[in-house]
Amino acid sequence: MRLLIILGTRPEMIKLAPIIRECKKHTGIEAVVCSTGQHDTLLDGLAVFFEISIDIALHARLPGQSLTSLTIRCLEQIHPVIEQQQPDFVMVQGDTATAMSGALAAFQQNIPVVHVEAGLRTYDIQSPFPEEMYRRLITLATQAHMAPTRTAVRNLVHEGVDRKRIFCTGNTSIDALQWAIDRQPPPTSDEPLVLVTGHRRENIGNGLYSLCKAIRELAARHKVKFIWPLHPNPHVASSVQDFLGGSSVQLIPPAEYKTFVGLLQRAVLVITDSGGVQEEAVALGKPVLITRVTTERAEAIEHGAALLVGTDEDNIIQQAEAILSGSLTCENGRAIYGNGNAAGRIVHHLSQLEADFLP
């Protein structure tokens, strides 16, 4: 089976790396990895860390480009790759412009699509923006839906997707996390910290401003160190720097994945709007405040492992202080997103798909 794996951003690389590695163990699967370069500067280091390689490197990204330009360039550049590679399947992950374009380009050339992390929904098309739209479009183009949780399976069934085409696999983020934990150097510090990240487009502006004010206030009131690795999106990074530069919050450039996992391990509280960070924090038993108004990862909230706090300054402060003072605990969701064997399951299902789709 010839499998073309299309990725472009940091989270796609992190979550597809375990599958790429797993494919190498199967002589029956020839996996070709194509990057659109959506997060161009971050991917090479991740490839080295996960001991995988990018076979085809595209250059879809331009500085300051619009979502439309990114999508057009992804589509234009992915199309000839599919034409040349003639894959039996195209695999995409998640809900990025790269994933949506990869799925659409494959659909247009009649190549079956395998979607990893399928079925996540908020059912609010504006939030997260544009990801909720992208993931729904990808579902329409997909023949094999690798759903990370039972909730994701239910969402797809509810939308009329054939149950036989949905596979409940766990999330490969936990496989990647395990890889990173196994490779952690001895800690240079075990000082506890509060880890903050923020990058959602729908939060840019008022939401991000209010989050920054809350973090500034919390960092001023509490002795514990606050660390915020900035997102590669320059828009977000510069806003956060404007709001928090000169405060006691430690702003650092995007952390290498291994380093980031080390920070997560030391965290007493994680405040984030990131999907992947929520999964990792929950898997490590860290309390999480999700700074969004909707979430497609409701399982963590249902299990009491995370709280949805929105971006209201007072609410963030109140909930963070409750956790820091020990009056509120939310630490019991460790296995919600899988137990580190999702990639193995996905590759197993792939070999079964061969019988259904290939002559």
Dihedral (CA of 318, 283, 129, 217) sign: positive
Q: Which of 280, 296, 299, 313 binds ligand UDP (CB under 6 A)?
A: 280
DSSP codes, 101-153 = HHHHHHHHTT--EEEETTT---S-TTSSTTHHHHHHHHHHH-SEEEESSHHHH
Q: Is 117 a catalytic residue?
A: yes
Q: Hey, what are 128's tokens?
A: 């997260």
Helices 342-357 and 10-24, interaxial angle, to 10°? 70
255 lies in the binding site for ligand UDP (CB under 6 A):
yes
299 lies in the binding site for ligand UDP (CB under 6 A):
no
Q: Which of 112, 229, 262, 340 binds ligand UDP (CB under 6 A)?
A: 229
DSSP letter at 274 equals: -
User: Which CB sits closer to ligand UDP, 155 or 274?
Assistant: 274
17 lies in the binding site for ligand UDP (CB under 6 A):
no
Per-residue contact flags (x/-) with ligand UDP for residues 75 to 94, judged by CB under 6 A: --------------------
> Buried b / exposed e across 291-309, counting CB within 10 Å, b at 16+?
bbbbbbbbbbbeeebbbbb
275 lies in the binding site for ligand UDP (CB under 6 A):
yes
Q: Which of 5, 6, 11, 111 binds ligand UDP (CB under 6 A)?
A: 11
Rounded alpha-carbon distances, angstroms, from residue 91 to 126, 296, 324: 25, 21, 41
Task: Point out the catalytic residue in the list 12, 22, 88, 117.
Answer: 117
Task: Point out the catalytic residue in the list 79, 165, 201, 348.
Answer: 201
Cα 35 from Cα 298, distance rounded (Å): 30
Angle made by CA atoms 332, 267, 245, in degrees to the nearest 5: 135
Q: Is 39 a catalytic residue?
A: no
- In whole angstroms, the minimum distance from the beta carbon of 86 to ligand UDP comes to 30
Task: Point out the catalytic residue in the list 131, 202, 273, 279.
Answer: 131
197 lies in the binding site for ligand UDP (CB under 6 A):
yes
User: Which CB sits closer to ligand UDP, 151 or 197?
Assistant: 197
Stretch of 50-58, 269-277, 333-341, 348-356 contacting ligand UDP, by CB under 6 A: 269-277
**3-class state of residue 40 by DSSP:** helix
Catalytic residue ranges: 95, 117, 131, 199, 201, 231
Chain contacts with ligand UDP (rule: CB under 6 A) = 10-11, 14, 173, 197, 199, 229, 254-255, 257, 260, 274-277, 280
